[in-house]
Amino acid sequence: MATKQQHRNMADSAAKHETDELYQKAKRAKSDNENGGGAVRKEIECENILSEFKTTKVLSDSAREKNIFIHGKLADQDAVIILEKTPIREDTLAELFTGSTLKLEMKNDIYSTYRLQAPPQLNEIKTTVVCPATEKHIKKYQRQESFLVEETGADYQSITLPYIQKQSFSVQWVYNILEKKAEADRIVFEDPDPTVGFLLLPDFKWDQKQVDDLYLIAITLQRGIRSLRDLTQEHLPLLQNIFQKGKEAILQRYQLPASKLRVYLHYQPSYYHFHVHFTKLGYEAPGCGVERAHLLADVIQNLQADPEYYKTRTLYFPLRVDDGLLSKYKEAERL
Ligand code: M7G
């Protein structure tokens, strides 16, 4: 459980933003509820900052995924809000059946359908707020056509690298985690070694209520590594350390063995501070397709076979139609 000081630190870091008062209202109500899946759940009670939210546009939505991405204004600032219905948990079924009201829709022979109104605590919507959101955030969440780009080592140097040096998302949230100014109470494992060390914590896509959609990220303490392209043989101890200790920590905390995990990097990532994704095998996490995900085990083997593998190989990745990097590839007649 986090101390009052840790919460004050979280609020201090958010204070850099004009929307701070929204975050400062947050106060802890309860924490550390164990659930049947072995995942740890933390809860912070806060005022409903969304009551003031004004929708500008639905960026994308999915009936199958049961989520919606909305652009709008929050206290006169651009914001993106992501609403997502959460999975139904086995350990809540008894409460769901006894505590709900049922409305009959139709009955025919042995078949009947109902609308079940669950008790509020079993009817939550996972909500993510990005505020103030930049133009790049709004584009990131907008459904768009994508194109596969072919990037040689030379293209990386002449097209991609100059672009990401100027245009990439801020990694302030990563530094807040590394400096324990945010999410300190969520850290699952920490190796403090300055060269091979990392922090392992839940990705903010995961609500930690069930292990079925487990999603953690390992963030390196080293700050210089931007992405897969920067990796050479000298990073093997770091990669092996993350792979080994990350898997051990997940086994210990969530009772999930390595054979149930998908451990991978994104290329291109959204945030150019080196990190590794740990998701449960079988959970189709966004970005786990072959055009973007690189298994850490493969990365390690490739670097063992060729220390310069990721400096020289052609890498493929999708870019959305209005991504500025795509325009650079078009200008260079590489697409
Ligand atoms: P990525 O491959 O750089 O980009 O992964 P992606 O978002 O396109 O996948 C960064 C990962 O960090 C993603 O899985 C995000 O969900 C996660 N993430 C992003 N932010 C801003 C936060 C945050 O503030 N806290 C946590 N815990 N995870 C975050």
Give the span between the Cα atoms of 201 and 188, in whole angstroms. 5
Phi-psi region of 255 (alpha: psi -120 to 50; beta: other; left: phi over 0): left
Q: Say if CB 223 and CB 171 are below 8 A apart.
A: no
Task: Quote the CA–CA distance of 255 and 39 in Å, as a whole number.
Answer: 9
Strands 215-220 and 275-280, by their bridges, are: antiparallel
Mutate to test the pocket of ligand 1, among 266, 267, 280, 319 (most ligand atoms within 8 A of CB): 266
Domain annotation covers residue 47 = no
When divided into structural domains, the chain yields a total of 1
7 is catalytic: no
Residue 91 lies in a domain: no
| pLDDT single digits (tens) 149-181 | 999 999 999 999 999 999 889 999 999 999 999
* CATH value at residue 309: 3.30.428.10
- Within-domain flag for 231: yes
pLDDT digits (tens, 9 = 90+) for 132-141: 999 999 999 9
Summarize pLDDT for 250-301 with one digit per residue, the tens. Answer: 999 999 999 999 999 999 999 999 999 999 999 999 999 999 999 999 999 9
In a domain? residue 216: yes
- The full DSSP string for 210-223 is -GGG-EEEEEES--
Give the chain's largest Cα–Cα span. 68
The Å distance, Cα 136 to ligand 1 centre, comes to: 14
Output the tens digit of pLDDT for each of the chain's 335 residues: 334 334 333 333 433 343 344 444 433 333 333 333 333 345 678 899 999 999 999 999 999 899 999 999 999 999 999 999 999 999 999 999 999 999 999 999 999 999 999 999 999 999 999 999 999 999 999 988 999 999 999 999 999 999 999 988 999 999 999 999 999 999 999 999 999 999 999 999 999 999 999 999 999 999 999 999 999 999 999 999 999 999 999 999 999 999 999 999 999 999 999 999 999 999 999 999 999 999 999 999 999 999 999 999 999 999 999 899 999 999 999 98
DSSP three-state, residue 325: helix
| The model's pTM | 0.85
Please check whether residue 35 lies inside any domain of the structure. no
5 domain-assigned? no
Q: Report the nearest-CA residue for atom 25 of ligand 1.
A: 204
Q: Could you tell me if residue 93 is inside a domain?
A: no
Token code pair at residue 263: 């451990």
Query: Is 201 near ligand 1, meaning CB less than 6 Å away?
Result: yes
In a domain, 300, yes or no: yes
DSSP labels for 14-81? HTTSTTHHHHHT-EEEEEEEE-TTS-EEEEEE---GGGG-EEEEEEEEETTTTEEEEEEEETTEEEEE
Rounded to the nearest angstrom, the distance between the alpha carbon of 130 and the centre of ligand 1 is 12
- Domain of residue 172: give its range: 146-332
